Amino acid sequence: MIVQLERLLKMAEDELTEYSTDARKMEKLRRKISLTASITEQQQVKQALLAKMKSNVITQVVEEQRQAVALPFWGIAGLGLLLGISLNQPVCLLASVVGTVLAYRIQKWGWKLQANRLLLQTLEDIESRIAQTTN
């Protein structure tokens, strides 16, 4: 089941790379999920996602504005590089490395959070469509 969750998250990340609306991303992801996972697997993945996703203010902000959250760290990285080279200060170069790593990790974390949310919304959409057709 963990393998199935990882595979579906990779599909969601692939959809995030395309420039389109969320509805279009969900539509394309819904087709892929329907072909690769049974209804019971989809429900298991949804339960695992709900258990995995703990929403608080910080994760919500990072998910919605990952680039804005990472921007100050990119600034620290650039400023550290500039000052480290011009003033020949190794401490500034270290700040540059730390800023780059933090900015990259924040953006990666936000990307994963967005993929989790897209997958969860798609699974809920599939469930609602199934419920509509059975009524």
pLDDT of residue 135: 66
Query: Per-residue pLDDT tens for 12-28?
Result: 999 988 888 888 999 99
Domain with 13, as residue range(s), is 2-134
| Cβ–Cβ < 8 Å for 77, 100 | yes
Distance between start and end Cα atoms, the chain: 29
pLDDT of residue 114: 93
pLDDT at 78: 94
Number of domains making up the chain: 1
Q: What is the pLDDT of residue 1?
A: 65
Q: Under a CB-based contact definition with an 8 Å cutoff, are residues 29 and 117 in contact?
A: no
Reported pTM: 0.85
What average pLDDT does the structure give for the chain? 90
